[in-house]
Amino acid sequence: MKPRGRPETSRLAKFIKLPALSPTSWLTAKNLFSQAFAILVFAVQAPILGPRAFGLISIVMVFIGFCEVVLAEAISESLISIRQVETSHFDTVNTVIVLGSIVFGGIVYAGAETAAHIFGDAELAPILRWMSILPLVSSMAAAPAAMAKRDMLFQTLALRGMASLLVGGTIGLILTLLGYGVWALVWQALFTRLISTIVLWMAVPLRLRFRFSRARLSDLMTFALPTLLSRSMNWGTGQFPRFIFGLYWGATELGLFGLGARLCDILLELTLVPRYAAARVELRRFATDPVGLNEAAGRLFFNMTLFAFPLCVGGAAIAPDLFHAWLDARWYGGIVPASMMMLMCAPFVTHYCAGAILLAMNRQSSEARMSIAQTVVTLIVTLLFAPLGLIPATAAFAARPLLLLPVPAKLLMSQCGIAGRTIFEAQRPALIAACLMGIGVTGLRIALERHVSSVVLLPVLVVTGATIYCVMISILRPEFVRDFLGRFTSR
């Protein structure tokens, strides 16, 4: 296989005429569809299943998610980082990751009874046994996902994500309505991963082969080991708290915490993840251009904050009415945790931007150090605050990225030569506009909530918040608004 340096056409393009969108636009479209569809499915499932069912799945994913988040992503990142990649690299990845996922899935299957005993819930054991196949199914997508990213085939990744979520979510929704309880969520997860892997292999110009080369494995490990450490830290940051919280609180309160985390994830997927994924590849061209990198970093920070800040601040401001209009009383204990978790997205902008820039500059070890710091703080916060209950523990958990802001900022300045003012001044306009919007929306909600139902008040708050934010951005960044309107008018 010749070294890959230019985009190729995916197999999907031969059968489907795809619109010419930028990589960020494709990923944003995928995330918009995915999150909108997920919200639709969840809106039906949550009142029927209640928080306990989602808490059980959260506990299960503590054990299952390691292969998806750590092994598969580390291998995929290593394939992207290798400058001159060959077919044998992909074949070696297939062999290594399949063997690893089979071993890991076997451990999960064998330890199902033990895990159920630790959490005091017998229903966990059969769920874990069925879900133990997920590591194998998910890891099979690592090689084609890396190829699609290398060749900038983000439309392929977007369509794959939308198709899998549509099929899996539909199956989960049908089974929920038929009364399958938590098993509706189990089969939803299984079919989502299965369809995702199948579609991806059908779409990319890559054959599924299992071969092993020690030299190719050595190439991969050069980049995979730091990324493996980084992803392990990220996985620990997300899953260790669920493990500890589940032990202290049980499945129901863990489900309330999980809802807040889910809303936070929705905001991250819509506002940060698409730009992070595209920037991680696009910024590689500035490896020898520090001036261009500074300018590109400033644009990245501003573009990420432009939508992330108003959505997280606005989401926290309207959370009470959102819960009352959407969910039943079993979920009301999650209002305050959800508000705090959505606010957590704001400082995450700096962390995501730093991660994308560090990886683009092949500073995997620095990105790993950032992840280690996050994991250490998360472990300490979780162990100290879990015994205090849902609200104090969530507050401490949500404060982590804010307390750790100096870490990514220092790494960007020392490792990539990014100026400190580039990092923070680019975020200031959106932060000021979002804070003023949040104050206005909160004041209006307090004034009207006793007189107007949540169903009627919710859209009023959304429109008011959007108006305030747009006006403030027009005042703080008029040149951006003029440029945007000019491009829109020309189209």
**pLDDT per residue as tens digits for the range 380-423:** 999 999 999 999 999 999 999 999 999 999 999 988 888 888 88
> pLDDT confidence of 9, banded at 50, 70, 90?
very low
Query: In the numeric block, which tokens belong to residue 69?
Result: 């988040």
Total number of domains in the chain? 2
Same domain flag for 240 and 174: no
Same domain flag for 373 and 458: yes
Q: Packing angle between helix 112-119 and helix 23-66, nearest 10 degrees?
A: 90
Residue 9 lies in a domain: no
Same domain flag for 480 and 412: yes
Residue 205 lies in a domain: yes
Residue 283 lies in a domain: yes
Same domain flag for 488 and 466: yes
Residue 164 has pLDDT above 60, yes or no: yes
Same domain flag for 309 and 392: yes
Q: How many Å apart are CA 463 and CA 461, to the nearest integer? A: 6
Residues in the chain: 491
Domain boundary among 178, 212, 246: 212
Residue 6 lies in a domain: no
pLDDT digits (tens, 9 = 90+) for 211-253: 888 888 787 777 777 777 767 777 777 778 888 998 898 888 9
- Rg of the chain taking only CA atoms, in angstroms: 22
Residue 435 is inside which H or E element, if any? helix 428-448
Residue 1 lies in a domain: no
Rounded alpha-carbon distances, angstroms, from residue 201 to 89, 154, 158, 281, 380:
16, 14, 14, 21, 41
Same domain flag for 161 and 255: no
Q: What's the mean pLDDT when you consider all of the chain?
A: 84
The end-to-end CA distance of the chain, in Å, is 41
Same domain flag for 311 and 331: yes
Give the domain extent around 455. Answer: 224-491
Domain boundary among 189, 212, 235: 212
Q: Packing angle between helix 390-398 and helix 364-385, nearest 10 degrees?
A: 160
Domain boundary among 177, 212, 247: 212
Same domain flag for 24 and 172: yes
Same domain flag for 336 and 450: yes
Q: How many Å apart are CA 98 and CA 121, to the nearest integer? A: 31
Residue 4 lies in a domain: no
Residue 399: CB partners within 8 Å, gap ≥ 6?
A: 344, 381
pLDDT digits (tens, 9 = 90+) for 40-97: 898 889 888 988 898 888 888 887 877 777 777 777 777 777 777 778 888 888 888 8
What does the pLDDT average to over 185-202?
90
Same domain flag for 195 and 275: no
Same domain flag for 162 and 274: no
Residue 97 lies in a domain: yes
Give the CA count within 13 Å in the CB-facing half-sphere of 416.
Answer: 36
pTM for this model (two decimals): 0.70
> pLDDT confidence of 6, banded at 50, 70, 90?
very low
Residue 8 has pLDDT above 50, yes or no: no
What does the pLDDT average to over 275-295?
85
Residue 341 lies in a domain: yes
- Residue 288: count other Cβ atoms within 10 Å of its Cβ: 7
Same domain flag for 254 and 299: yes
